Amino acid sequence: MVTNFTGLQPGQEAGEENNLVQQMQMVPALDAVQALASTTLHCVECQTMYPALEPVPRYRCDCDGVLDVETNFGNANLHEPQTRETTFFDDVDTLPSIGASWRQRFDERASSPPIWSISTDTNLLDASGVWRYRELIVRVPEKYVISRPEGNTTLYPVGMENCGMGRIGHRQIGVYAGLDRFFLKHEGENPTGSFKDRGMTVGVTMAHVMGAKAVACASTGNTSASLASYAAQAGMRGIVFLPAGNVAGGKLAQTLAYGATAVQIEGDFDDAMHLVEHVCNELGIYLLNSLNPFRVEGQKAIGFEILQQLDWQAPDWLVLPAGNLGNTSAIGKAFRQAYQLGIINSMPRIASIQAEGANPFYRSFMGKFAERHSVHAETVASAIKIGNPVSYTRARRVIEESDGIVASVSDAQILAAKAVIDRSGIGCEPASAATLAGIRQLVERGVIKHDERVVGVLTGTLLKDSKTGIPQDSGGIVVKPTIDAVRSILEAIEA
């Protein structure tokens, strides 16, 4: 499907006007339109197809359903591996070699050290834990890519058996979970401290392709910080809509420091989400919530990177916290595509964990997805305080096709799990700890077996929220600078 962009010359960019109150014109670059010719947007509700790029960006189907990026890997470049879909039925034998060639390509890229040219700024795509997998993410010409780079986060072995002598502290997490072979993927190690950077590098790249002058999102804090950083890098205006009083101090400070305009909404995240979609459509600002299907494509890289770090041996389970459900959708899609391409031989089961006071997806799951629930959200884990998740249908597909599960944990369980992760020396933000709380519950229920290989995602850093779940009364003990004073303090601690 090709859109006719009458009047545009190859490479022509959008106009320079930057007036936010007038509708801003976006014009997709023609070379990017051509590069994305084999990519379409599919409605997840009614399957209608749209071109990947249109002069007015499309975030929803005419039926209101959300959109999903579909790339035809096979036809895009004849020299590249074919998909399981195109080969599976007629030539089963070739699939292992197709998968092997993808793995080899990604391993070669991961093993070459990034070298910056002294005189020019080169785009080191292979150094990014997102763009390393670019054929499976989005095929835009390199010159448009806006990358820090991001990704390359640590996969910590924390199980009772896969934790060596040098990780005695980390092993406590495996003991708490009741798992022998357990890994934590710490996405808080991304440039702005959360997994959001992976979707954001792709989202802002697409804004660049579109010639957008301003980008916006609604956020519980991490998306806004990420947007602000990447918008600053790209020279775009960042505008974020936040639920007033419900964003951790560090996230707000970070967003403002990067120079974004923060609009505090008298309402919750769901109100902010509703508003930002309206604002973007009315004012021609490029929307960067995970409603934007390209953000989901970038977040898939968490899944690819986990598989690569496990030497392409798929884990039995992937467990993650769930709010707006973009991440559940993205990681599930990554595993599905890796399986279809023969990169892995089995599909991991996905477990999405919600906070008890913000668990609409869990309610729908418990009713076998007969009904889509929404709730008025309440939880100490402000990042996942979301009552009406946008990516419901995408995530439902992931849970159903991966034989997955949705669980619900209390705030007390989240904070207890956070204390275990923090005290191990790894640390994470409250929402991330829902992962460990959920795993502990699922192991206790016998859903996850103690000897299965499990990867849990920690979505954000400890550093942005210095209040929730961190002892506030022990900011250090003040003593006289004498050995006796120190000795008596240490004796008191041991007593």
Q: For binding to ligand F0G (CB under 6 A), which residues are involved?
A: 194, 196, 219-223, 290, 321-328, 383-384, 429, 431-432, 459-460
Q: How far is the CB of 333 from ligand F0G (least distance, A)?
A: 12
Dihedral sign computed on CA atoms, order 81, 140, 192, 332: negative
Assess contact for 269 and 296: CB atoms under 8 A.
no
Instruction: Give the C-alpha separation, 434 to 414, whole Å.
Output: 5
- What backbone torsions phi and psi does residue 489 show, to the nearest 5 degrees? -65, -50
Which of 322, 437 has the CB closer to ligand F0G? 322
Q: How far is the CB of 325 from ligand F0G (least distance, A)?
A: 5
Q: Which long-range contacts (CB under 8 A, 24 or more apart) does 166-170 make?
A: 169/423, 169/424, 169/425, 170/424, 170/425, 170/426
Q: How far is the CB of 94 from ligand F0G (least distance, A)?
A: 35
First to last CA, the chain: 74
Which of 326, 348 has the CB closer to ligand F0G? 326
Q: How far is the CB of 296 from ligand F0G (least distance, A)?
A: 9
- Cβ neighbour number for residue 259 with a 10 Å cutoff: 12
- Cβ neighbour number for residue 196 with a 10 Å cutoff: 34
Which of 125, 232 has the CB closer to ligand F0G? 232
Q: How far is the CB of 422 from ligand F0G (least distance, A)?
A: 15
Looking at residue 311, the DSSP 8-state letter turns out to be: T
Looking at residue 341, the DSSP 8-state letter turns out to be: T
Q: How far is the CB of 409 from ligand F0G (least distance, A)?
A: 13
Q: How far is the CB of 455 from ligand F0G (least distance, A)?
A: 15
Which of 40, 246 has the CB closer to ligand F0G? 246
**Percent helix, strand and coil across the chain, each to the nearest 5:** 45, 15, 45
Instruction: Give the C-alpha separation, 130 to 187, whole Å.
Output: 12
Q: How far is the CB of 343 from ligand F0G (least distance, A)?
A: 23
Which of 242, 448 has the CB closer to ligand F0G? 242
Which of 128, 432 has the CB closer to ligand F0G? 432
- Cβ neighbour number for residue 445 with a 10 Å cutoff: 10
Assess contact for 227 and 238: CB atoms under 8 A.
yes
Q: Could you tell me which of 97, 73, 99, 76 has the C-alpha nearest to residue 86?
A: 73
Instruction: Give the C-alpha separation, 142 to 346, whole Å.
Output: 32
Instruction: Give the C-alpha separation, 161 to 164, whole Å.
Output: 8
Which of 163, 383 has the CB closer to ligand F0G? 383
Which of 172, 220 has the CB closer to ligand F0G? 220
**The residue type at 465:** D
How far does Cα 206 stand from its chain's mean position? 16
Which of 138, 291 has the CB closer to ligand F0G? 291
Q: How far is the CB of 457 from ligand F0G (least distance, A)?
A: 8
